[in-house]
Amino acid sequence: GWDGGYCAFKTDCNSPGFSSALACCKTAYAGQVNRHCVTKLETPPTTSPTASDFTVDFWYPDYDTVWTSAGCRNTLPLPYNNVNDRPNYPTQLECCKTSFGGQMSGACLSQLESPPTTSPTTAGNIGSLYYPDYNTAWPDAGCINVLPVPSGRPTYASHLACCKGAYGGQVSGVCLSQLDSPPTMSPTSVGGLDVYYPDYNAAWDKATCVNTRPMPSGRPVYSTMLACCK
Full pLDDT tens readout for the chain, 230 residues: 777 788 887 777 767 777 777 778 877 777 676 778 877 777 666 554 444 456 788 899 998 888 888 999 988 778 887 877 888 889 998 888 888 877 777 888 888 888 765 444 444 567 788 889 988 888 889 999 887 788 778 888 889 889 888 888 887 888 888 888 876 544 444 457 777 888 888 888 888 988 887 777 777 878 888 888 87
What's the confidence (pLDDT) of residue 185? 47
Phi, psi values for residue 127, rounded to 5°: -95, 180
Instruction: Return the pLDDT at 188.
Output: 44
What pLDDT is attached to residue 72?
A: 93
Please tell me whether the overall predicted TM-score, pTM, comes out greater than 0.75 for this model. no
Q: What does the pLDDT read at residue 116?
A: 66
Distances (CA, A) of 163 to 156, 159, 167, 219, 220: 9, 6, 5, 14, 14
Radius of gyration of the chain (CA): 25
The pLDDT of residue 186 is: 45
Please give the backbone phi and psi of residue 160, each rounded to the nearest 5 degrees, phi first. -65, -45
